[in-house]
Every structure is written in structure tokens, then in C-alpha cells.
């Protein structure tokens, strides 16, 4: 494997010591059960690979972007009773993010994109708290919201369903068990209309919602669907990275 100049974990100090990077990408995943057929590292693998591919496209267009190592733990407070779903509380995440941001700010990095791959992670309040105290522009991108999934997939379940299974079949086929071994990903919804309509919210208690930890039926997943979806997701993220890399932080509004 040749070292990718846009991935920090691949390069040496020789590359970084005199370099100027426009922005860094911090991929943030999770370690959690994904139905019976996808690995615990699913979110981490997806996010790591999407970050690197988006950065590659942006780099080829002249943006000096650097992908930081992917954080493998996310918020799992609704899955504490599922073996090896490893929880970082949001307040712990904030501490980690604060330390990473503080370090990068001292080194004069001006822009940071958090690339999030796990629905339980919510960096928006953390960014609100950090922005007034660090001289850095920080934004969050949830890669699973970048394009409209309905154009690619039939079942829109949000955890280990058709989308994530297709994506993982494309990225790490050796780690996906045959779909015949997957559970149906049948999930129970809240009783309240307010929750269905989305204006009331509380995190789900996972083991009461689903028997196999999946939310969404993976039956129609294919690697080709995953490839097509990811191609569009990474192209769109890359275009944003290029735009942000070139942006004047004093002129962000039209």
C-alpha cells in the first residue's frame, strides 16, 4: 500500500513539518452490534473509508485536506445492555473533541470537519460550546444524510439495514456474513404520534425496539447499490471539502 498524503496515519513528519493544510477531517464512528450479519466496526469502517475517499477526491482538486484517525467509540447510552456496545457519554466525547481541537488550534489549523457515522453521536451542541473558545471553524457532517437514500434503497431502516449492509458489502465484503444469516431488522416504533411526526424525541431503548439489533431489513442489499451510493456521497462531501478549504472564514455568508 502506498502512503496517502491526505491521511495522517499514513504520512510521516517529513510530509507534515513544512506543509500547510487547509482543513482536517475527524471521522467519528462507533463500536456496536449491527444485526447478526455486520461487524461491530461497521460505523468505524464506513466513516474511515468515506473520509479517506472524499479527501482523495478533494486532494486531487488541490485542496490540502488531512484525515485524522477515526475515533472508534460513540454514544451508546441506549444500548448499554447489548454486549460490547462500548459507550462514550456525550460529555466524554466533548472532552475528547475539546482536546483534539485545542491541540490543532495551537498548531494553527483553521478548519475542522467532523465526519460522523453514528446516529447516537450529536456534535452540534459541542460545536456550539467550542466555537467561542477556539480560533477554529468547526462543522459537522453526518455522511448518511448527504444524499437522499430513497434514490438508492427500498428499505430505509437506519441501522444495519439495506443501506448500511450495501455499503459494508462494498467496502469490506469479507466481514459481512451471508444475508441468509441476518435477522429481519424489524423495529418497533414509539406509540406516540408526536414521535412519528418527529417533533418529540427521546433516544430509543434498543433491546425493546429490535430483537436482532437491526433497524431496517437488509434483504435487498447489494454491493453494487453500496458502490453507487458511496460514489455520490463521497463526491458531494469532496466538493464541500474543496469549497471549505478555499473559503475565507471572514466571508462565510452570501
Distance CA 199, CA 39 (A): 32
Contact 101, 138 (CB under 8 A): yes
- Shortest distance in whole angstroms from residue 43 CB to Zn ion: 4
C-alpha triplet 115, 118, 124: angle, nearest 5°: 60
Cα distance between the two ends of the chain: 43
- Shortest distance in whole angstroms from residue 158 CB to Zn ion: 8
Distance CA 60, CA 4 (A): 11
CB-nearer residue toward Zn ion: 6 or 40 = 40
CB-nearer residue toward Zn ion: 44 or 234 = 44
CB-nearer residue toward Zn ion: 47 or 242 = 47
Site for Zn ion in 24-53 (CB under 5 A): 42-43
- Shortest distance in whole angstroms from residue 146 CB to Zn ion: 15
Distance CA 208, CA 129 (A): 33
- Shortest distance in whole angstroms from residue 33 CB to Zn ion: 10
CB-nearer residue toward Zn ion: 102 or 155 = 155
Question: How many chain residues touch Zn ion (CB under 5 A)?
Answer: 2
Handedness of CA 47, 52, 58, 63 (dihedral sign): positive
DSSP state for residue 124 in the 8-state scheme: H
Distance CA 171, CA 49 (A): 8
Site for Zn ion in 172-211 (CB under 5 A): none
- Shortest distance in whole angstroms from residue 80 CB to Zn ion: 17
CB-nearer residue toward Zn ion: 11 or 220 = 220
Closest CA to 59 of 119, 31, 105, 19: 19
CB-nearer residue toward Zn ion: 78 or 242 = 78
- Shortest distance in whole angstroms from residue 177 CB to Zn ion: 15
What CA–CA distances, in Å, run from 138 to 27, 55, 74? 13, 17, 19
> Is position 162 an interface residue for Zn ion (rule: CB under 5 A)?
no
Residue numbers of the site for Zn ion (CB under 5 A)? 42-43
Amino acid at each position: 500500500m502506498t502512503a496517502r498524503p491526505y491521511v495522517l496515519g499514513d504520512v510521516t513528519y517529513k510530509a507534515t513539518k513544512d506543509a500547510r493544510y487547509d482543513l482536517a477531517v475527524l471521522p467519528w464512528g462507533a463500536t456496536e452490534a449491527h444485526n447478526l450479519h455486520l461487524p461491530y466496526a461497521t460505523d468505524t469502517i464506513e466513516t474511515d473509508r468515506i473520509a479517506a475517499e472524499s479527501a482523495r477526491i478533494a486532494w486531487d482538486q488541490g485542496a490540502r485536506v488531512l484525515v485524522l484517525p477515526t475515533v472508534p467509540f460513540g454514544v451508546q447510552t441506549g444500548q448499554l445492555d447489548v454486549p460490547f456496545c462500548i459507550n462514550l457519554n456525550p460529555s466524554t466525547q466533548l472532552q475528547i473533541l475539546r482536546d483534539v481541537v485545542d491541540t490543532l488550534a495551537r498548531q494553527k489549523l483553521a478548519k475542522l470537519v467532523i465526519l460522523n457515522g453514528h446516529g447516537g453521536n450529536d456534535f452540534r451542541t459541542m460545536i456550539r460550546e467550542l466555537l467561542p473558545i477556539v480560533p477554529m471553524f468547526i462543522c459537522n457532517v453526518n455522511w448518511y444524510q448527504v444524499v437522499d437514500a430513497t434514490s438508492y434503497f427500498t428499505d430505509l431502516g437506519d441501522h444495519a439495514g439495506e443501506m448500511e449492509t450495501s455499503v459494508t458489502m462494498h467496502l469490506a465484503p469479507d466481514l459481512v456474513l451471508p444475508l441468509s444469516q441476518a435477522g429481519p431488522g424489524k423495529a418497533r416504533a414509539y406509540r406516540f404520534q408526536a414521535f412519528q411526526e418527529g417533533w418529540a424525541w427521546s433516544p430509543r431503548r434498543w433491546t425493546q425496539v429490535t430483537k436482532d439489533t437491526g433497524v431496517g431489513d437488509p434483504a435487498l442489499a447489494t454491493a453494487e447499490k453500496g458502490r453507487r451510493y458511496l460514489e455520490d456521497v463521497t463526491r458531494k462531501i469532496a466538493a464541500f471539502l474543496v469549497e471549505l478549504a478555499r473559503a475565507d472564514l471572514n466571508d462565510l455568508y452570501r
